[in-house]
């Protein structure tokens, strides 16, 4: 398969399996499934008085952006030691994935520099795994995201584990619309907490000049039930529909550029530093 700009989509991931196959037997399959079981049990709508991490609490706590001040590139370098336990396709450090995504987009869309930068920064929210940012567990940071406060769509990976989530049986939350209304807009929908929402908050609150489509990509790139399976479209606004077109373009590079081929960091670094300077302040609050 060749994408519009010429990017060749590989037939298999770095382990020799099809991409996003969550059931094939592999060295990562059991760990990935265990991750999603924990994720689906704990991501609920309401914060109740116990020790679990819940979506509202996460947004309130981490939305303060009072942990540290770092540049975008400094944050990229922190991901050198981060491996995403939810990803069945890659076990390389996250900085490799960021650069692979950005460079693949850059090759096919040379004039859309904002899209190159979206590729570089889209996963920076995974720094929440770092001790200096709270050291959150993987289930509260990575993996596919989905709305909470309405029914869990059956297209969500390892859906069966939602049966252990209290919201699954809550009549206020387990209908098609739940607490939302038709066409309310994704901006009004509470998503499961993770690196997408965190990086969106960081970019927005630090006054990035990236266009709305880039912020939409950052915020919803892990929302596979929407951009791959077309679930939850009844909640979208007209603006969401337009931005989704760019997200679906972006997703192909985010997913299929993953490989064991390393990017020469020092060679591409000056280009990305120039984009960071164009669209972000020198230091950001995280």
Residues 71-119: tens digit of each pLDDT: 999 999 998 877 778 765 566 677 888 999 999 999 999 999 999 999 9
CA-wise closest residue to 96 among 116, 76, 113: 76
DSSP H or E segment with residue 285: strand 284-285
Residues of the chain with pLDDT > 70, as a percent, come to 83
% of the chain surpassing 90 pLDDT:
61
Please list, in sequence order, all residues whose beta carbon lies within 8 angstroms of the beta carbon of residue 151, skipping any fewer than 6 positions away: 173, 174, 175, 176, 178
Opening angle at CA 193, ends 181 and 26, nearest 5: 115
Let me know: does 218 contact 200? Beta carbons within 8 Å. Answer: yes
Rounded mean pLDDT, 219-239: 97
pLDDT digits (tens, 9 = 90+) for 28-75: 567 788 877 887 888 777 532 233 344 667 777 777 888 889 999 999
* CB 255 within 8 Å of CB 19: yes
Cα-trace Rg, the chain? 18
Q: What are the binding residues for Fe cation?
A: 97, 122-123, 195, 221, 254
Q: Which pLDDT score, from 0 to 100, does residue 89 have?
A: 53
Give binding residues for substrate as ranges. 20, 84-86, 126, 143-144, 221-222
- Round to whole Å and give the CA distance between 199 and 215: 9
**Which ranges constitute the DSSP H helices of 43-126?**
55-62, 72-78, 94-108, 113-121
* Residues making up the binding site: 20, 84-86, 97, 122-123, 126, 143-144, 195, 221-222, 254
What's the pLDDT score for residue 16?
54
pLDDT band at 12 (very low <50, low <70, confident <90, very high): low
Q: Is the pLDDT of residue 212 over 90?
A: yes
Backbone phi and psi for residue 70, each to the nearest 5 degrees, phi listed first: -145, 155
Q: Which two tokens stand for residue 140?
A: 């509260």
CA distance 176 to 198: 26
* Least confident piece of the model among 11-20, 40-49, 145-154, 163-172: 11-20
Closest by Cα among 234, 1, 4 to 110? 4
């Amino acid at each position: 398969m060749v994408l519009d700009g010429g990017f060749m989509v590989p037939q298999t991931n770095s382990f020799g399996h099809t991409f996003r196959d969550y059931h094939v037997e592999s060295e990562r399959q059991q760990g990935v499934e265990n991750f999603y079981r924990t994720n689906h049990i704990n991501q609920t709508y309401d914060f109740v008085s116990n020790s679990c991490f819940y979506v509202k609490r996460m947004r309130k706590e981490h939305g303060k952006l009072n942990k540290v001040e770092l540049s975008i590139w400094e944050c990229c370098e922190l991901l050198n030691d981060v491996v995403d336990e939810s990803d069945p396709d890659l076990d390389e450090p996250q900085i490799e994935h960021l650069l692979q995504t950005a460079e693949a987009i850059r090759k096919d869309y040379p004039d859309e520099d904002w899209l190159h930068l979206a590729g570089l920064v889209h996963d920076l929210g995974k720094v929440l795994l770092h001790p200096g940012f709270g050291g959150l567990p993987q289930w509260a940071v990575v993996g596919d995201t989905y709305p909470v406060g309405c029914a869990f769509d059956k297209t969500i990976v390892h859906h069966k584990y939602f049966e252990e989530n209290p919201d699954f049986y809550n009549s206020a939350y387990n209908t098609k619309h739940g607490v939302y209304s038709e066409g309310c807009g994704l901006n009004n929908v509470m998503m499961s907490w993770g690196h997408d929402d965190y990086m969106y908050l960081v970019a927005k609150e630090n006054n990035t000049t990236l266009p709305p489509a880039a912020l939409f990509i950052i915020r919803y790139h892990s929302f596979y039930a929407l951009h791959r399976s077309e679930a939850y479209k009844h909640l979208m606004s007209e603006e969401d529909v337009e931005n989704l077109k760019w997200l679906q373009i972006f997703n192909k590079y985010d997913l299929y550029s993953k490989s064991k081929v390393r990017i020469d960091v020092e060679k591409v670094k000056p280009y990305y530093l120039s984009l960071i300077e164009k669209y972000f302040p020198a230091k950001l609050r995280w």
